[in-house]
Every structure is written in structure tokens, then in C-alpha cells.
Amino acid sequence: MSVHAPILAIAVPLLGGFAAPLLARIHRKVRDLWVLLVVFFSGACVGYVAAHILSSGIWVYVLGARNPQETLAPGGFPIRIMLTVDAMSAFMGLIAGFLALVAFPFALKYIPEEEGKTLALTLSLLLLAGILGLAYTGDLFNFFVFLEVTSIAACGIIGFRTWISRAPEAAFKTMVLFSLSGLFFLLASAFLYGEYGALNLAYLSAQIKGTLVDKLALALFLAGLIMKVAAAPVHFWAPDAYGEAPAAKTLLLVVNTQVSLYGLWRVLFTLYGGALSAGVGWLVTSLGLLTMVVAAFMALVQVDLGRLVAYGAVSQIGYMMLGVGVGLVTLAGRPDYGFVAMKGGIFHMLNDALTVGLLFLCVGAVEWTKGTRDLRELGGLGHGLPGVALCFLLASLALAGIPPLNGFASKILIYEGSFRLSPILAAVAVLASILLLAVFARAFHGAFLGPRAEVKEGLPWVFLLSMGALAVGILVLGLVPGFFVEELVAPAAKALWHGRALYLAAVLGG
């Protein structure tokens, strides 16, 4: 079965999601056990894929053939569906797999049966399958298909609790932006198909020469994926979506945003890497700065703890875009500082997943205990929920980039690389982090400090286990970042920075 690990990582949660409602008819515990088995099996698959990639290089999995060369028509034209997994794809898969392992056990206890638990689990498994499909696919049309799978599943997760007045509104707003995103991506793929008669990403990359049609397709790719990424000024769906979805499922929504960011990197570096101008890099960098500043200021005025964390999550997208944007600006000359910024931006994807994930689980624990997230009605929870308070404080400091936590480890690389390109970039990023620190200090004070508050007794142990796993990850990645940067982050960054030729050779031969 290890030979088929890439496709099994996608197929098992996809089929498992459709099987969950049927098993719920037998017994709820059978459904829960099934969901856990599916998530653990998928996690094992992505772990095996990552280990194989890091030890052996790019893995090209061809549906219906033993190797990619068997699928090439005369002239080197790929004629079958391929999964092309390099170190960047594997890195994205690891983030999705780990967050799923943390989120699903939490969700099994957090979501009540009478509030659509089976539906939420089904949609979450479909979302996981779509995320892994986006990370592993090697052609544009299947990327579009998985993009739509994630959009449908994500909108369902956001809006299925129709008795909550704002949930359908948030889902509708997200649906509109996701629909436009998918439409733009499909149109861009159609333009390239019309010009080159192919959809395989490696084949198209070898053909693209920077024509007017290529540039028009690039503009559509950028517009569509930036919507899905929640970069300013089209970020407004994300705070509503993160704030209205069940807290346990918000972790997958965060990963869904990140895999869209991965798609943007894949298009820019792998598909267009040989035909990009520095202007595209400056656009990504500018949008990154705008995102981190706008989201930080919006977080400042929030009184709902969930929406406050949601804006904090959006702000971190800006740091990822800044780091990788610096790499795009310097792609032609490939100076060392460009690669440093790239590593920081990619490392921050992992750190953000852990940090924001822990914050949302803390929000879920607070809501489960008090029945509200309104900071005006909270206070003193640190007496009855010391573990939750400690986790929230730890994640808040990490989000703001305070040493020696993981957020500092990735942000310092972003600061270093961006400063050498322009000190103004680093200055804005540092100021945004300081503002976020003030915002989350206020949130911590409002929710957890003050006179003792009455709380529901007996916080489920699985809540603490899930939060503890993320807290340990934050500490480990902050205290010994060098190991993870060298073993995971650097190969992922090199796959984009230097790996375009290897990607094309793995698929097309030569």
C-alpha cells in the first residue's frame, strides 16, 4: 500500500466522508471510531509521503501507469492524471495531516449530536481530502476540482448551524468570494489550455514564454487565489468564516487558506518561474504588508474573542506573503537574503497553523464553558481554566513573535530577508507584531484575569490533549527551530526557489 500512499491520502478521507452518515445509522460510536481511523490513516499516508520525498526526491504518481514516462505521447505530452509531490507539497500535506489529527478528536467532543455532528464530520473529511488533493495534484484542472471541493465543504462547515443568525450570512459571503475565485482560476486554466492544448503543470511550465495570453492567465490566477487566501483588500470573508464555524473545525479552514497560498506559490514559482517580472513579487509583498496592517487594526476593535483571533489569523497571512514576496522580487538574481525570507515565509505557515490553531481551540473551550465569546461578559476564567489560560497566553505571545517561541523563529527570518531588500518592509512588519501583542494582551486580560468567574466543571480531557499537542509544538519549534528549518523548511523552500527544473524533469524526463 505504500506505493499508493499519495492517492490513498486523498481517497480515504474522501470516501470516508461519504461513509460517515451511513455508519452513523448503525451507531454513533461506530461513526466516531471510523472518523478517527480515517484521519489517522490519512495522517500516516502524508507522513510516509513526506519521509519518501525528503529521502528520495520528487514523487510522481501516475493514475493507471507505473511511471510518468509511460504516459508521455510523442513530443513529451502527458496524457494521464498525475500527482506530483515535491518537498513543498509534502510540507503542506504534513501541516494538513497534523492539524487534522488535533482537530477531529476535539470536534468529536465539542460538537453536540443535536447540532449536526454527523454533517460536520462528513464535511470536514471532504475538506481534508480537498486540501490534500490541492497539495499533491500535478495539473491545473484537478487543482480546480479540488479547489471547488474545498470551497463547497468549507462553506458547509461555516453555515450548517442555521439557527445561529450570522452563520448563513458568513457562509454566503464566503461562497460568493470562493465562487469568483474558482471562476477566475478556471478561466486562467482555459486560456492556457487554448494556447498550449494541455493542463499538466510541468508541461505548461516548459511551454510558457510570457505572451499576452500567458500574462492574462497570470492575472486571473493571482486574482482568484488572492481571494481564497484572504489577502487584503478581499480578506473580509475570513473573519466571518473563522468566527462562525465551530471552533474545532476552524483549524481546517485555516489550513484551507494556507493550501490556497501554496497554490499561489506553485503557480508563481513552478508554472511561471521563468517568465515572471519583479513587479509580481512587489505586488505580493505589498499585499502582504497591507494584510498584516489592516487585520491588526481590525483586531484592535473586536469584542468577540473568536473574531479577534480570526483577524489575528488573517494578519499572519501577510507575513507569509511578505517572506515569499521578497523571494519573488529577487527571483532573477537569487541572492541569499531572498532565500532567507522564503524560508521564513514558509516556516511561518507551519508556525501559524500551530499558533492560530491553539488560539481557536482555546476560544472553543471558553465558549464550551461559558456559552459566550463576548469579552464584555467574560473575565476571571484563569482561576477555573488555568490550562486554557496558559495555552492562550502561550499562543498569543507566539503569534506576536516573542522569543523563544515559534513565531519569533520564523518572523526573524522574514525580518532579516525583507530588511536587506528594504528596511521599510521590516519596520512595518515589526510594528504590526507590536500592535498584535497589545491586542492579544487586552484579550487575555479581558477573558482570563480579574475576579474568579463561575465555570462549567470538568473540561473534557480531549480538549486539554489537543491543546497540549499544539502547545508542545509551539515550544519545540521555538526552542529548537534549526532542526525543523534544515529538515523540513529548507527543502520546501528549495523546491520553489531552485526546484523548477527538477519538477519538470521528474514529470517530462530529461
Q: Tell me if residue 42 falls in helix, strand or coil.
A: helix
Residue 405 belongs to a domain: yes
How many structural domains compose the chain? 1
Q: Distance between CA 316 and CA 254 in Å, rounded?
A: 11
Domain holding 436, by residue range, is: 277-479
Could you tell me which residues are beta bridge partners of residue 77? 73
Residue 282 belongs to a domain: yes
pLDDT of residue 332: 83
Cell of 190: 482555459
pLDDT of residue 259: 95
- Average pLDDT, stretch 275-303? 90
154-163, 306-315, 434-443: segment of lowest average pLDDT = 154-163
pLDDT, tens digit, 9 for 90 and up, residues 42-79: 999 999 999 999 998 899 888 876 666 666 666 566 77
Residue 371 belongs to a domain: yes
Residue 393 belongs to a domain: yes
72-81, 143-152, 478-487: segment of lowest average pLDDT = 72-81
Instruction: Output DSSP code: residue 268.
Output: I
Instruction: Output DSSP code: residue 235.
Output: -
Residue 468 belongs to a domain: yes
Cell of 490: 529548507
Cis peptide before 233 (omega within 30 of 0): yes
Residue 362 belongs to a domain: yes
Residue 401 belongs to a domain: yes
Residue 19 belongs to a domain: no
Higher pLDDT, 106 or 460: 106
pTM of the model: 0.94
Is 190 a residue whose pLDDT tops 70? yes
| Alpha helices per DSSP H over 232-277 | 237-244, 247-265
Closest CA to 281 of 421, 398, 111, 186: 421
Could you tell me which residues are beta bridge partners of residue 277? none
Using the Cα atoms of residue 51, residue 52, residue 57 and residue 58 in order, give the sign of their dihedral: negative
Cell of 93: 500535506
Is 204 a residue whose pLDDT tops 70? yes
pLDDT of residue 73: 62
